[in-house]
Homo-oligomer: A and B are copies of this chain.
Amino acid sequence: MARPHFSVFIGTSLDGFIARPDGGIDWLHAVEDPGEDYGFAAFFAGVDTLLVGRNTHQVALGFPEWPYAGKRVVVYSRRGGTATHGESFVAGPPAEVAARLLADGARKVYVDGGATISAFLAADLVDDLVVAILPVVLGDGIRLFQPPLPERGLVLEGSQAYPSGLVQLRYRRAAPPAAEARR
């Protein structure tokens, strides 16, 4: 099926949380380093579209400046919403969303937010997954991988440890089993 390329680029606590229960991401400051962006700018330059969940959209709206300037922004939410920066809103099965994104011109999509990432992982539509593990146990919060997800192998492309204690793990989607590929 023709579809855009979907990438995840995210940080989690060692216990798998991407935000506090209330969405707070203040704990990410522990690895902030003025001279190190962990490859984010290069990654961000390579995507044309953001597909974000409702919570991630709300976080972005709270920033002093709109962080997604210059990119197509699509909010994945059954509730819809009001576009304040040219966002569009979509809902439905990930495969249908993928087809619609392609039709709208999306080629490289940055998927963000735990629920949205998990929905696209469940549909086996995530092509690249960069997970930065922070040196902290958060204890509770919003998970990156939200059960239930089907069991799925990944291919490790590489890893890198940084002086801040962050370790970045880079995976790509495993090729589907031959039986599936032949269908």
Contacts and interface: CB of A to CB of B under 8 A. Distances in A.
A47 interface: no
Contact of A153 (B135, B144, B154, B155): B135
Interface string A85-121: 0000000000000000000000000000000000001
A150 interface: yes
Given A15-B16, A147-B140, A154 B169 contact: no
Given A133-B169, A145-B137, A169-B133, A153 B16 contact: no
Interface string A2-36: 00000000000011100000000001001000000
Interface residues on A, range: 20 to 34
A165 interface: yes
A80 interface: no
Interface stretch (A37-45, A58-66, A69-77, A156-164): A156-164
B15 A145 contact: yes
Interface of A: 14-16, 27, 30, 121, 131, 133, 135-140, 144-145, 147-156, 158-159, 161, 165-167, 169, 171
